[in-house]
Copies of this chain bind each other. A is one copy, B any other.
């Protein structure tokens, strides 16, 4: 027993010193973790910015390592040649599945540069995820958020996806712009034949089995990868899991956590006969794959032979890839490195998960591997649920932060945008508008299950945008418009979850698969109305689009009528915009007119008005409502200043000008551009849509109350006119003149 106070402190000090020495020793012994001081140009790699930014510390922390800077060079070989630095990822994203010949599509002649001398936080870590469909794509985002939240390393995600998930995740990561994150896609369809012959009863379908093909599907130069299921949540830094690779023996090739359910014990019910496994078997929700060695031990032959052999007596796999992994391990037990169970805490009912942890800090990775997901029974489910909800609702924009000590690569999109933002003058009165226009919003396309409509030459998609306060319009809109819709929703991450609950709970909404909901994540003070319109417009899959607004309900017959009109007016060969006359009700409850005749009588009775009749008649005056009353056939009208009708146009029409954010001029500018491109405006005699009442938006309130806001709108208008003149020459003069005459 040491004396209290100083003596004890000395002992503590000495102990700490010894510990420090020991750790440093261990550290230097471990090649994969060794650190090298990077202090100059990196010599012709992807990055060549000058380096020495090392600073002395005020007071050295215990276990502090030499300060190094981040090299997003691929530490595993010639990956750096691929241009996978995120800003460039689109150039080289390809399908790497089903490689053929030695070394796959990359050849085998390149020198292997093994850059394993990076300090732990600068090492590039590789993660592979198999993901298919709309719902799994949402899950992947939550998983990735939980990884990014804790990570300190550059990460390379290898995503094996179907077409749906690829479309979603490509756009998402492209717009997310997280520094030091690299993405590669692999086409699941190309890999499917490798496993399609295996009968399978698991709910993950064929996609679970695809994990077996990863050693072949991933680049042959890739030595190690962490493979994750989509129903995983990280509660710790993934680098700590990666570090376990260093503990593998020479023969160990797969790191796995033991199963926490009794499945493989085979005693769950009478005649329960699971696939063979070592004891409780292993769970494949989290896998450390030592790809290099797997290729050496001829993994592919190994699992194929085992599967074929077992399938002689088993009818199918019950747990997809997990059955096969376990059968292989049963046969070759030296292949497996058993991971601590905290790396895959399995929240099925009745598992032994609780034996895995006694403290929060023991929880590294949570696996929601019950079909009940958040509803699973577990003593600490509240804790797990809160952890999961933390990432579900976490503002993904906050994960765009640069890693510490990382020098940026070549000029990438994020930093270009950042540069433009930096160059904005903060004392510009319209700073907010310009900043909003420059903001890159994360976009999650088709947030809910969606099936594009069958191709039809005259089909038309309703295009609109909304935020949370207009959700209640969706059901009515679905009732009025039986055709395809493409809707952009401007939401925060938390609101996106509320929307999800709302849509799933709604019978009307969940019955539809032809409505595409695209989430544009909120950022900045002004509503980016035209960006939203462009996102929705860009995702329309029919030849024509009806550019509407969320507060309008179309006539019940409009969808059919538009398709007929498009055909009859031969829009395929005629550059025209079909005008849908707009009306408004000021009633909460309107018995919606089922015909033009009914509409006209409501108009005469004062129950309906032409749109904005009281406050802004100019916006729709050129539609000529008096003529429309009598019209039996479509009639052409001429553009006039401030005209902003709702129109049907081909999908490839001009995009909206994203400089108009918040309230004002966002549609006017678009219609002007249609006119500049010589679209005819044809008013349809039987078409109509009715605007329902709502409270004025915050933006219109700001417009009304703020002289600066109005001034900025004027400035933006002027700049738009200048751009128009530049693009359309003297023909655009008429817009300026028309504007001035008002």
Task: List residues of A (372-408) whose CB comes within 8 Å of B's CBs.
Answer: 380, 382-383, 386, 389-390, 393-395, 398-405
Closest B residue to A260 using CB positions: B58
A15 and B26: CB pair below 8 A?
Answer: yes
CB within 8 A of A470: which of B152, B250, B502, B695?
A: B695
Task: List residues of A (228-262) whose CB comes within 8 Å of B's CBs.
Answer: 246-250, 258, 260
Task: Select the stretch in A135-143, A300-308, A560-568, A585-593 that faces chain B.
Answer: A585-593
Residue with the highest number of chain B CB atoms closer than 10 Å, among A16, A248, A355, A360 = A360
A404 and B359: CB pair below 8 A?
Answer: yes
How long is the Cα–Cα vector from A178 to B19 in the complex, in angstroms?
37
In the complex, chain B residues whose CB is within 8 Å of the CB of A352: 58
A58 and B356: CB pair below 8 A?
Answer: yes
A448 to chain B, nearest CB (A): 18
How long is the Cα–Cα vector from A67 to B9 in the complex, in angstroms?
26
Q: Does A633 touch B at the CB level, under 8 Å? A: no
Given A58-B355, A389-B398, 12 other A-B contacts at CB below 8 A? A9-B247, A55-B355, A55-B358, A58-B356, A61-B342, A360-B404, A386-B398, A389-B395, A472-B697, A586-B586, A588-B614, A693-B695
A404 and B383: CB pair below 8 A?
Answer: yes
Q: Does A81 touch B at the CB level, under 8 Å? A: no
How long is the Cα–Cα vector from A248 to B361 in the complex, in angstroms?
26
Copies in the complex: 2
A404 and B6: CB pair below 8 A?
Answer: no
In the complex, chain B residues whose CB is within 8 Å of the CB of A338: 59
A334 to chain B, nearest CB (A): 12
In the complex, chain B residues whose CB is within 8 Å of the CB of A502: 698
Q: Does A5 touch B at the CB level, under 8 Å? A: yes
Contact with B along A8-39 (1 / 0, CB 8 A): 11011001101100110110011100000000
A406 to chain B, nearest CB (A): 11
In the complex, chain B residues whose CB is within 8 Å of the CB of A697: 472
Q: Known: A23-B19, A469-B695, A697-B472. Is A393-B390 also a contact (CB below 8 A)? A: no
Q: Does A719 touch B at the CB level, under 8 Å? A: no
B698 and A472: CB pair below 8 A?
Answer: yes
Q: Known: A19-B23, A249-B5. Is A469-B469 also a contact (CB below 8 A)? A: yes
How long is the Cα–Cα vector from A355 to B53 in the complex, in angstroms?
11
Residue with the highest number of chain B CB atoms closer than 10 Å, among A57, A248, A589 = A57
In the complex, chain B residues whose CB is within 8 Å of the CB of A362: 61, 64
Q: Does A471 touch B at the CB level, under 8 Å? A: yes
B614 and A587: CB pair below 8 A?
Answer: yes
In the complex, chain B residues whose CB is within 8 Å of the CB of A383: 401-402, 404
Residue with the highest number of chain B CB atoms closer than 10 Å, among A6, A121, A357, A402 = A357
In the complex, chain B residues whose CB is within 8 Å of the CB of A588: 614-615, 693, 696
CB within 8 A of A19: which of B22, B401, B494?
A: B22
In the complex, chain B residues whose CB is within 8 Å of the CB of A525: 501
Q: Does A109 touch B at the CB level, under 8 Å? A: no
A57 to chain B, nearest CB (A): 6
Residue with the highest number of chain B CB atoms closer than 10 Å, among A58, A249, A260, A586 = A58
CB within 8 A of A472: which of B258, B340, B696?
A: B696
Q: What are 19 of the A-B contact pairs (CB < 8 Å)?
A: A5-B250, A6-B249, A6-B250, A9-B247, A18-B22, A19-B19, A19-B22, A55-B358, A56-B355, A57-B341, A61-B340, A358-B404, A380-B404, A382-B401, A386-B399, A389-B395, A395-B494, A588-B693, A589-B615
Closest B residue to A361 using CB positions: B152
A124 to chain B, nearest CB (A): 16
Contact with B along A167-204 (1 / 0, CB 8 A): 00000000000000000000000000000000000000
A58 and B341: CB pair below 8 A?
Answer: yes
How long is the Cα–Cα vector from A212 to B660 in the complex, in angstroms?
55
Closest B residue to A586 using CB positions: B586
Q: Does A475 touch B at the CB level, under 8 Å? A: yes
Q: Does A473 touch B at the CB level, under 8 Å? A: yes
Closest B residue to A382 using CB positions: B401
In the complex, chain B residues whose CB is within 8 Å of the CB of A250: 4-6
A354 and B55: CB pair below 8 A?
Answer: yes
A70 to chain B, nearest CB (A): 10
Q: Does A222 touch B at the CB level, under 8 Å? A: no
Q: Does A313 touch B at the CB level, under 8 Å? A: no
How long is the Cα–Cα vector from A12 to B589 in the complex, in angstroms?
75
How long is the Cα–Cα vector from A471 to B701 in the complex, in angstroms?
10
Q: Does A548 touch B at the CB level, under 8 Å? A: no
A432 to chain B, nearest CB (A): 10
Q: Does A653 touch B at the CB level, under 8 Å? A: no
How long is the Cα–Cα vector from A29 to B342 in the complex, in angstroms?
28
Q: Does A2 touch B at the CB level, under 8 Å? A: yes
Task: List residues of A (573-605) whose CB comes within 8 Å of B's CBs.
Answer: 586-589
How long is the Cα–Cα vector from A352 to B55 in the complex, in angstroms?
10
Closest B residue to A607 using CB positions: B614
B398 and A57: CB pair below 8 A?
Answer: no
B355 and A57: CB pair below 8 A?
Answer: yes
Task: List residues of A (467-490) whose CB comes within 8 Å of B's CBs.
Answer: 468-473, 475
A414 to chain B, nearest CB (A): 11
In the complex, chain B residues whose CB is within 8 Å of the CB of A698: 471-472, 502
In the complex, chain B residues whose CB is within 8 Å of the CB of A615: 588-589
Q: Known: A472-B696, A525-B501. Is A11-B29 also a contact (CB below 8 A)? A: yes
A702 to chain B, nearest CB (A): 9
In the complex, chain B residues whose CB is within 8 Å of the CB of A271: none
Contact with B along A113-140 (1 / 0, CB 8 A): 0000000010000000000000000000
In the complex, chain B residues whose CB is within 8 Å of the CB of A5: 249-250
CB within 8 A of A12: which of B30, B468, B587?
A: B30
Closest B residue to A250 using CB positions: B5
A516 to chain B, nearest CB (A): 22
Closest B residue to A699 using CB positions: B472
Closest B residue to A18 using CB positions: B22
Q: Does A88 touch B at the CB level, under 8 Å? A: no
Q: Does A705 touch B at the CB level, under 8 Å? A: yes
In the complex, chain B residues whose CB is within 8 Å of the CB of A430: none
In the complex, chain B residues whose CB is within 8 Å of the CB of A29: 2, 8, 11-12, 15
Contact with B along A599-624 (1 / 0, CB 8 A): 00000001000000011000000000
CB within 8 A of A692: which of B26, B360, B695?
A: B695
Task: List residues of A (332-377) whose CB comes within 8 Å of B's CBs.
Answer: 338, 340-342, 352, 354-362
